[in-house]
Amino acid sequence: MTIAYQGHEGAYSHLSCQRVFPGHQAIACSSFREAMRIAERGEADMAMIPVENSTAGRVEEIYRLIPEMQLHIVGEHFEPVNHCLLARPGTTLTDIKTVVSHPQALAQCANHIEALHFLPQARLDTAGAALEVSQRNDHSYAAIASTLAAELYQLTILKDNFQDMSGNTTRFIILSPSPVVPKLEQDKTYITSVLFRARNIPAALYKALGGFATNGVNLCKVESYISGGGMNSSQFHVDIEGHIHQRPLQRALEELSFFAEETRLLGTYPAHPFRANCAFRD
């Protein structure tokens, strides 16, 4: 089995691939689009793609890419983010003048960076920053990246849990070119993801979502964004608590179809255990 991800080896997406699919080949890609495209073409069995972070919010690019591609969500994974301060062996904290990483990682460690009087510099991704530091013959540079990046690029972890806030978590979706609907088991929780565009009529969105309330179906997430180059049509991505074979969800989707156009089922998949603490519920 092969699974594509965006970033250099050692990125948090790579780490997630190893946690969910240990022993399987992970394919590094230069962009989210490339990772999703090779999965769509069948050159990889799946793609591991981040969609939101508990500190930084949603990854907007992904919600714009999903409608363009014929991929199906077959799973989700919540990855705790442990930012580490990495440097070449032999480096001490007093040697460091500059720290490099992805802008989001720098922002999530801003207080610690300021306290240590480091100069932050942005890079395209965390693992790429770690690779850069490993190739520099300069002890004044450090990187913020994962423990996997430290292992791969033979860097020393000077500080673990370098982020300012604990509990920082990224949600990933697992995409496949073929749909996989798990068997409905009554003692398990499922998520069903749907795309739709509300009709251009008064109260269309209110009525479209009202069917979930009247059928006792919980909406875990609603994302809206303008699509198609126009300014008068919004697309919605909804994550719903329920299995597509459960009758209440089926009735809610039937009501949705009266007030929406271009409705598309993205997939039904087991809810990750992390959801039990309600961290990502509206």
**CA dist., res. 125 & res. 102, Å (int):** 5
| Beta strands 156-159 and 141-145, pairing class | unpaired
Q: What are phi and psi of 225, to 5 degrees?
A: -165, 155
Q: Taken in order 88, 91, 95, 101, is the CA torsion positive or negative?
A: positive
172 included as an active-site residue: yes
Q: Count CB neighbours of 58 within 10 A.
A: 16
**CA dist., res. 138 & res. 26, Å (int):** 31
**CA dist., res. 135 & res. 7, Å (int):** 18
CB-based contact 29:9 (threshold 8 Å): no
Task: Identify the active-site residue in 91, 126, 170, 268.
Answer: 170
Phi-psi sector, 42: left (phi>0), alpha (psi -120 to 50), beta: left
**Residue matched to tokens 């930084």:** 56
Task: Identify the active-site residue in 172, 196, 236, 259.
Answer: 172
**CA dist., res. 85 & res. 162, Å (int):** 6
170 included as an active-site residue: yes
Going by C-alpha positions, the residue among 94, 108, 105 that lies closest to residue 129 is: 105
Active site members: 170, 172
